[in-house]
Structures are given as structure tokens and as C-alpha cells.
Amino acid sequence: MQYKEYGKTGKKVSVIGFGGMRFRKEDYSKSMEKCAAVVRRASELGVNYFDTAPNYCDDKSEEIMGEAFKDMPNPFYVSTKSAIWSEKNADDVRRRIEKSLKRMGLEKITFFNMWCILNLEQYRKVMAPGGPYEGALKAKEEGLIEHIVFSTHCNGEDIETIVNEGYFEGVTLGYNATNFAFRQRGIKAAYEKGLGVVTMNPLGGGIIPQNPEFYSFIKENENDSLVQAALKFNASHKEITVVLPGMGTIEEVEENVKAGENFGEMTEEKLNKMAKMLNESLDALCTGCQYCKGCPKDIEIPKYMDAYNMYILNKENTAISDRLKWHWGMNKEKAAECIECGKCEAQCTQHLPIIERLKYIANI
Ligand code: SF4
Ligand code: SF4
């Protein structure tokens, strides 16, 4: 496993981190132990960056981590989060930190994320007097957390604005072989400012391994699986400190950590070449993150957008209807019920034209 300096924090972290959002329900609903063993296996193989959050895996992820940490001899760093939608002020954040510490059996959290900042308006709310950042800062002064970082789905320009204001030591953001052009500016700005850069969603919500032909261009080594190639794609960027795939089984851990052993160096030339291959579909794919949920018309947007992904990848309308019918057991009619309120587009982490796509689907 290779290690990189996390910004200016003095921490050396494994280039492959453990994303604690993919534990299997069939495992944790019976016992925490099977999931905890997955975490421990990652530690044995050199992973020392463990990311979790309240609410992941039916709110069990932090508890699973805590179970694993009881019996993990290698040193490790922990990242968890508080969200502006549930921890609205400094006191809420304090309570959240205390709860996370208790659940994980820790005395301090290494990296505490102001979670999922979607736009500058939310950022201002996080930073407002008496707001979440203030709560985190106080906890830091008291030694309950070490570094305040932020996690975001903002576009590159907004990330640059946040980074340049200088309140954070690192950033967690979605970056992969699908959306890289969209976030280049953000990772560059963070790197130049000396922040650690953690990249979540390196497999594009599963889209990359599910479409091996389309994404074959990211493979530099024939012996790598597409998952490994996608992780290496991120790891090879000098701007990126940690690649964070979600892991739910020991097999996944063993496959993922191999990507952290050797990887090339990403150059502008390679990126430009890849961008050309992705052409107009750059960042156009839905990653399935589900942040657009809560439609007033109960339209299952992520499922419709997933079906539209198939159209982008196959250029056939039948790919949409087939995906809806055979994969999701749905039909296109519900898409026509959109009242264009715009709520989903305001929340979409990929800034997709959801309304336009729903109209397209309704009319195929
Ligand atoms: S714009 Fe349409 S799909 Fe989006 S939340 Fe509003 S009604 Fe639902
Ligand atoms: S439409 Fe946007 S917010 Fe919704 S799942 Fe897809 S990428 Fe995520």
C-alpha cells in the first residue's frame, strides 16, 4: 500500500481508504461482527483511513467501525461527519460529535467533515455565527476532533471559493473517470492550497464496472479489473490523497487494496485524451447518490436517471425502457407527472438537467 501526506496535517494516509457506506444489510442485520471483520481485514492490508457517517447503512456504520476498532492493532485515522440538514447549529454538532465518539469508542475523531455542502448558500449556513463550523471548532479546541474538513458536491468553481476562504484542512468530494472534468478545478485548488483531497464515488455509483466496454479506455494494465483501473485512475492524480471505495466484503477489500500498490502518474495529456473519449457525456451520468430524493410527486428520480444513463451509454431509447422494465420494474408514465418545481435539480450532486430528462423519458 502506498501512503500520501494528508495536506498539512502531518498525517500519512493510505491511498486506498475504507468507505463505510457499503456494509451488507444481510450481514449487519444479524450481527456486527461479519462487517467488523471486513474493516479489520482492510487494516491488516495497510488501509489506515476509515470513513464513516451517521445514517450510513441504516445508521449502523459507525457502530460497525467501533466494533472493529476494539481489536485493530495497527494505527488508523477516522473520518466522520455532521450534516447541515440535521445538525443546524453549534450545539447540534457538539451532540453529534459526542455520539459518534461514543459509538466508535474513540477519544477523538481525526477528520470531521462538514458534510455534503451542495452550494455556496449552504456553505454560508455552515459558517454562520453559532452554526455548525463553530461547534466543530470548539470541539477541536477541546481535543475531541483533530482536523475540520468538508465534504461537497459543489462544482469546481464553488469548491475553489470555499477552499480559498481557508477554514478547512481537507475536502472529500466525488471524483471518477466519469465526472473528472467537472471537478478538476476543485481538486487543483484544494491541492494548491495544501488541503488533503479525499475522493469518494470512484466507481461512479457502479456505472464504471457495469459498463466495461465504454470505460475500457481507463485501463492501463490489462491484468487489472475495471474496479482496480478506476481506483488507480484517481490514485494516479498528484492532487488526490485518498481514494475511497465503499467496501462490504473481504473480497472487495482484497481487490481494492491491490490498486493502492502501484499506479502510474496522471498527466494533463492523458486526461485530455480521456475527456475527448467521453465527449458530450462528460459528467452527464447520474451517479445514483440519491440526494435528489423527496420529489413532491413521488417520482423515483434516481431510478429514472439511471435508466437515462443507459441511453447515454447505448444511444438507444429502448435502453431506457428496458432498464425501467427489467431492472426497476417500472414504466415511463410516472415521469410525465413532473411539475417542474426544480427541487431535485437544486439538490442534484451532478447538476443534471433532471426535468429535461424526465420529459425525454416520458416521450419515448
Ligand atoms: S422537478 Fe419534477 S421530478 Fe424534480 S422534484 Fe419537482 S416534480 Fe419532482
Ligand atoms: S439525479 Fe443527481 S442527485 Fe439524483 S441520484 Fe442522480 S446524480 Fe444523484
Using CA atoms, how far apart are residues 307 and 316, in angstroms rounded to an integer?
11
Closest ligand 2 atom number to CA of residue 291 = 3
Q: Is pLDDT above 90 for 59?
A: yes
| CB 301 less than 6 A from any atom of ligand 1 | yes
| CB 305 less than 6 A from any atom of ligand 2 | yes
Closest ligand 2 atom number to CA of residue 290 = 5
For residue 135, which amino acid is it? G
Task: For 9-43, write each residue's pLDDT tens digit.
Answer: 999 999 999 999 999 999 999 989 999 999 999 99
- Strands 12-14 and 3-5, by their bridges, are antiparallel
Question: How far, in Å, are 4, 6, 14, 188, 276 from residue 238 at the CA level?
Answer: 9, 12, 14, 9, 21
Q: What per-residue confidence (pLDDT) applies to 306?
A: 87
* Percent of the chain's residues with pLDDT above 90: 68
| CB 90 less than 6 A from any atom of ligand 2 | no
Using CA atoms, how far apart are residues 281 and 306, in angstroms rounded to an integer?
14
Mean pLDDT for all residues in the chain: 91
- Which of 252, 111, 98 lies closest to 172, judged by CA? 111
Q: Is pLDDT above 60 for 283?
A: no
Band of residue 185 on the pLDDT scale cut at 50, 70, 90? confident
| Residue closest by Cα to atom 5 of ligand 1 | 295
Using CA atoms, how far apart are residues 233 and 57, in angstroms rounded to an integer?
27
Q: What per-residue confidence (pLDDT) applies to 299?
A: 96
- CA of 316 from ligand 1 middle (Å) equals 24
Q: What per-residue confidence (pLDDT) applies to 180?
A: 78
| CB 351 less than 6 A from any atom of ligand 2 | no
Three-state SS for 171? strand
Enter the pTM of the model.
0.81
Mean per-residue pLDDT, 222-226: 91
Closest ligand 1 atom number to CA of residue 342 = 1
Closest ligand 2 atom number to CA of residue 302 = 5
Q: Which residue has the cell 468530494?
A: 173
| CB 305 less than 6 A from any atom of ligand 1 | no
Q: Is pLDDT above 60 for 67?
A: yes
Closest ligand 2 atom number to CA of residue 293 = 4
Any idea which of 60-69, 82-91, 161-170 has the lowest mean pLDDT? 82-91
Using CA atoms, how far apart are residues 195 and 278, in angstroms rounded to an integer?
29
| DSSP secondary structure string for all residues of 322-357 | HIIIIII---SGGGGG-----HHHHH-TT---HHHH
* Sign of the alpha-carbon dihedral angle for 157, 163, 168, 172: positive
Mean per-residue pLDDT, 34-55: 97
266, three cell numbers? 496522471
Q: How many Cβ atoms sit within 10 Å of the Cβ of residue 73?
A: 8
Per DSSP (E only), the strands in the chain are 3-5, 12-14, 18-19, 49-51, 77-83, 109-117, 145-152, 170-174, 196-200, 242-244
| Residue closest by Cα to atom 6 of ligand 2 | 286
Using CA atoms, how far apart are residues 186 and 282, in angstroms rounded to an integer?
16
Determine whether 85 is exposed, middle or buried from the number of CB atoms within 10 Å of its CB (0-12, 13-18, 19+).
exposed
- Which of 187, 172, 154 lies closest to 53, judged by CA? 172
User: Do 269 and 236 form a contact (C-beta atoms < 8 A)?
Assistant: no
* Sign of the alpha-carbon dihedral angle for 77, 230, 201, 25: negative
Domains of the chain: residue spans and CATH: 3-278 (3.20.20.100), 301-362 (no CATH)
Any idea which of 40-44, 64-68, 180-184, 199-203 has the lowest mean pLDDT? 180-184
Residue partners of 12: CB distance under 8 A and separation at least 6: 3, 4, 5, 6
Which has more confidence, 156 or 348? 348
- Which of 222, 238, 234, 231 lies closest to 255, judged by CA? 231
109, three cell numbers? 475523531
| Residue closest by Cα to atom 2 of ligand 1 | 338
| Residue closest by Cα to atom 2 of ligand 2 | 348
| CB 148 less than 6 A from any atom of ligand 1 | no
| DSSP secondary structure string for all residues of 113-166 | EEEEE-SHHHHHHHHSTTSHHHHHHHHHHTTSEEEEEEEE---HHHHHHHHHHT
Task: For 106-124, write each residue's pLDDT tens digit.
Answer: 999 999 999 988 888 899 9
